[in-house]
């Protein structure tokens, strides 16, 4: 056991999904010709005035609310001054005092099991800088990204391991996707994370911290923090001290390297942005925020476990996207609605649908490279398949076949059954003659079966299924076979005791 305690705090930026930039009407759009989405405002020409993007405010407050932050009723903008070519104004409009969200709390699921509550310090809005590309001796700048709306959230140093930090990021990513405020894509830079870490002897409070940058995947966050924890422990236990600095993760060498000594907030000479009034959300704005609130991923996962009785792994897979869990709940409710008497309850319908969603349906989606909402398997179609199977109209083998047919033919399962003549021979009248003829064709096997040869009995059942071209209800066929065998056995007993001969 180590004598040291690890403190990790994250600063996460997300791009907000708006049509236009934060303070001008340039399109907030990537992949366009470099420097084509620019105007005097985002290029910082003298005399221009910023205008707040109302949609960015809405999306920002959505996130703050989901993080259980205290929402600001008077939120201020500030200038953060720095001189670097990616920011043509020489300051970034950000928030310092009175950001949109104050202290909050987020409960996250841990990959080791259980959950952890992490305190949120604040979240604020700001604008992104341009993108610099360094190529040998020259540097290129694309200002399309300058002025793109960002939300930054800052946690308290409540996380303790690289794994927990990774869990936090992955959950936050899922959260912003559920809220539909951001793509949350780390590789593409629409979610960016800086990680802060310090160590100290247990009970001594926070240590002197290092900030790690250049983390473009959640795995790098984990690796770099675990690397830093080890490095700092070695320095400290050798009697050294940690200098406050910014380090970069080097993914080729799997280590962090010093970038610069740490700047502090007074280096930025923050002052109130004189060209923007405070934002004071109206009662209507706040009411709309409440109305538009969605259930958080963790809450939905817990409901999949408790209400639908799903296994952990199934719940995990189904709630990975909001689209997936919406689809699941829709399919279950449609199944129950269309065939209320067929299911024993919500859990039975849920079990069938979850098994398909994580099995055959998922395979088809992967094969086609499509998401479930774009697929021919609508929730109504899956619901109707579930009802057919639960009601004994189709067996599980036929259900599998039908799932693949729905994908290839893009038709309702009922229509496919009709067209292909696939109705299960459900009725006793249909199955009985098949059992009788299989038995008489294989009469020689009966004595062995009666003395307990299970294989030969299964052979007869196999004949029945083959004869019906797979359409007989196997459970019913078995039941009828057992009845017939019992009759034969009884007749034999009767004939040997001579009861029936008189």
Contacts with ligand ADP, residue ranges (CB under 6 A): 7, 9-11, 154-157, 196-198, 206-207, 209, 262, 264-265
Pick from Zn ion, ligand ADP, none: which does 109 bind, CB < 5 to 8 A by kind? Answer: none
| Binding partner at 197 among ligand ADP, Zn ion, none, C-beta below 5 to 8 Å by kind | ligand ADP
Residue whose pair of structure tokens reads 């405002």 in the numeric block: 41
Partners of 135 in beta bridges: 138
C-alpha dist (Å) from residue 292 to 39, 63, 180: 33, 12, 11
Which of residues 8, 12, 26, 435 is near Zn ion by CB under 5 A? 26
Instruction: Select from Zn ion, ligand ADP, none the partner in contact with residue 286, using the beta carbon and a kind-dependent cut-off of 5 to 8 Å.
Output: none
Judged by CB under 5 A, does residue 39 bind Zn ion?
A: yes
Examine residue 175 and tell whether it contacts Zn ion (CB under 5 A). Answer: no
Distance in Å, CB of 41 to Zn ion, minimum? 5
Q: How far is the CB of 89 from ligand ADP (least distance, A)?
A: 22
DSSP state of 112: T
Q: Which of 182, 125, 118 is nearest to 149 (CA)?
A: 125
Of 214, 217, 190, the closest CA to residue 29 belongs to 190
The minimum distance between CB 305 and Zn ion, in angstroms, equals 47
DSSP 8-state class, residue 197: E
Interface segment toward Zn ion; rule CB under 5 A; list 20-28, 100-108, 342-350, 457-465: 20-28
Asked if residue 331 binds Zn ion (CB under 5 A), the reply is no
Give the nearest distance from C-beta 261 to ligand ADP in angstroms.
11
Distance of alpha carbon 461 from its chain centroid, rounded? Answer: 44
Between 199 and 385, whose beta carbon lies closer to ligand ADP? 199
| Long-range CB contacts (within 8 A, 24+) of 79-84 | 79/270, 79/271, 79/272, 79/273, 80/126, 80/268, 80/270, 81/268, 81/269, 81/270, 82/268, 84/129
Selected range binding Zn ion among 26-34, 186-194, 340-348, 455-463, rule: CB under 5 A: 26-34
Dist. CA 102–CA 378, nearest whole Å: 42
Rounded Cα distance, 225 and 236, in Å: 16
**Which CB, 26 or 193, lies closer to ligand ADP?**
193
CB of 18 to Zn ion, least distance (A): 13
The H or E element spanning position 256 is strand 255-261
The least CB distance from residue 156 to ligand ADP, in Å, is 5
Site for Zn ion in 42-81 (CB under 5 A): 42
Minimum CB distance to ligand ADP, residue 11 (Å) = 5
List residues near Zn ion by CB under 5 A: 24, 26, 39, 41-42
């Amino acid at each position: 056991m180590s004598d040291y305690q690890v403190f990790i705090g994250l600063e996460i930026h997300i791009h907000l999904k708006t049509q236009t930039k934060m303070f001008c009407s340039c399109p907030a759009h990537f992949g366009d010709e470099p420097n084509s989405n620019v105007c005097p405002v985002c290029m910082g020409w003298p005399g221009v005035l910023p205008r707040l993007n109302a949609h960015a405010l809405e999306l920002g407050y959505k996130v703050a609310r989901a993080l259980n932050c205290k929402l600001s009723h008077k939120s201020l903008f500030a200038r953060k001054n720095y001189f670097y070519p990616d920011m043509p104004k020489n300051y970034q409009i950000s928030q310092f005092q009175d950001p949109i969200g104050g202290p909050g709390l987020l409960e996250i699921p841990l990959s080791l099991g259980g959950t952890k509550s992490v305190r949120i310090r604040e979240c604020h809005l700001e604008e992104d800088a341009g993108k610099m590309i360094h190529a040998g001796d020259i540097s290129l700048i694309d200002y399309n990204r300058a002025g793109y709306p960002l939300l930054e959230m800052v946690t308290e140093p409540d996380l303790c391991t690289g794994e927990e930090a990774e869990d936090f990021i992955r959950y936050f990513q899922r959260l912003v996707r559920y809220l539909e405020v951001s793509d949350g894509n780390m590789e593409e830079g629409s979610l960016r994370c800086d990680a802060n870490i310090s160590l100290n002897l247990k009970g001594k409070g926070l240590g002197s911290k290092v900030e790690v940058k250049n983390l473009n995947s959640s795995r790098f966050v984990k690796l770099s923090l675990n690397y830093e924890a080890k490095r700092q422990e070695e320095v400290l236990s050798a009697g050294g001290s940690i200098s406050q600095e910014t380090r970069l993760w080097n993914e080729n060498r799997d280590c962090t390297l010093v970038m610069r000594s740490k700047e502090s907030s007074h280096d930025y000479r923050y002052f109130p942005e004189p060209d923007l009034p405070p934002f004071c959300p109206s009662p209507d704005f706040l009411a709309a925020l409440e109305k538009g609130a969605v259930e958080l991923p963790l809450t939905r996962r817990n409901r999949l476990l408790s209400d639908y009785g799903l296994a952990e792994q199934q719940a995990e897979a189904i709630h990975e996207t909001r689209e997936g869990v919406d689809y699941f709940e829709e399919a279950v409710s449609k199944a129950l609605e269309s065939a209320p008497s067929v299911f024993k309850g919500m859990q039975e319908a849920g079990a069938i649908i979850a098994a398909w969603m994580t099995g055959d349906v998922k395979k088809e989606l992967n094969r086609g490279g499509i998401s479930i909402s774009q697929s021919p398997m609508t929730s109504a179609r899956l619901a109707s398949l579930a009802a057919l199977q639960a009601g004994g109209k189709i067996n599980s083998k036929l259900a599998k076949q039908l799932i693949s047919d729905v994908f290839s033919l893009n038709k309702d399962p009922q229509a496919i059954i009709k067209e292909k003549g696939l109705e299960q021979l459900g009725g006793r009248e249909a199955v009985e003659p098949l059992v009788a003829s299989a038995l008489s064709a294989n009469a020689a096997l009966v004595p062995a079966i009666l003395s307990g040869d299970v294989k030969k009995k299964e052979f007869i059942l196999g004949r029945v299924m083959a004869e019906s071209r797979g359409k007989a209800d196997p459970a019913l066929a078995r039941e009828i076979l057992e009845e017939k065998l019992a009759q034969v056995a009884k007749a034999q007993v009767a004939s040997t005791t001579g009861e029936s001969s008189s």
